Structure 1
Amino acid sequence: MEHTVLVTGATAGFGEATARRFLAHGHKVIALGRRVERLEALKASLPADQAKKLLTLMLDVCDSDQVDQLASTLPAEFSNVTVLVNNAGLALGLEPAHQAFLSDWDRMIETNIKGLVHMTRAILPGMVERQCGHVINIGSVAANYP
């Protein structure tokens, strides 16, 4: 069965590797990220048969308006997302909690928690309607520090 896989944070690291792996197994992939040049480089680096199954979109998971509009603006051939990989995230600061910058915490909460929640809320209704889908949330050991 061919799946349509949406991967957030697909411009580097685990997100890019996840997108590549699903493409290598013959699935369609929607790769989301903030850095359009990295998305273009990903597509350019793929064999032709995989590149035609890749849709790249510049999107910031912190922008709830962009996320809310995503499902309704996907091209028909990519509209039935069956796998959502919430990978976008970041870790800021290594200071002990009592010395950490609240601005760093705010940014991490916006991206790592609210971004994941908004994306899941945008994509999940289609999965429920089709009675088919999986949500994979990628975490980091940074979540356990300090």
Structure 2
Amino acid sequence: MENLGVKYSGPPMQATTDGSDHNLFYYELRAFEPQAGGPISYQLIIDISYRESWRNYASASFGSGRQVEIIQLEKNILNCPSVTTCMLEETLEVPLEEEQIVKALKQRNALRVKLKAKSGHRSVVEVPPSYLMGFYAAIVNRQG
């Protein structure tokens, strides 16, 4: 049975973890407001692509030190330009709390998410305050 309620989704944005096109990620904020009432749930969806071997991202931490487990939604091999090098992609869901978004907005800061992989890789995703504000305002304005 499908969840009934209102789904919110911000536009997908592209960035890079190291300034190259070999470590790209797309992110978007999503939220779900249950029809039956209750709190709105927030998620940061991240599609991260890179070369060589699987990183297997497992957790995320925030500036506050709070750590959460990542939900891995998908893993894909995008292409293999050579026998030894493939472009790989992981689609991740990072659960967020409304207070994290509100705090970043009040301080006019980006929402900084540090991803940690089982491979030892670490990546940082920063969601700018302008993106947070537009997304959160759409939810607040809809609620009245």
Same fold (TM over 0.5): no
> So what's the TM-score if we normalise by structure 2?
0.28
Q: TM-score, normalised by structure 1?
A: 0.28
Indicate the structure with greater strand content. Answer: 2
* Greater relative contact order structure (CA < 8 Å, 6+ sep): 1
Report which of the two has the higher share of helix.
Answer: 1
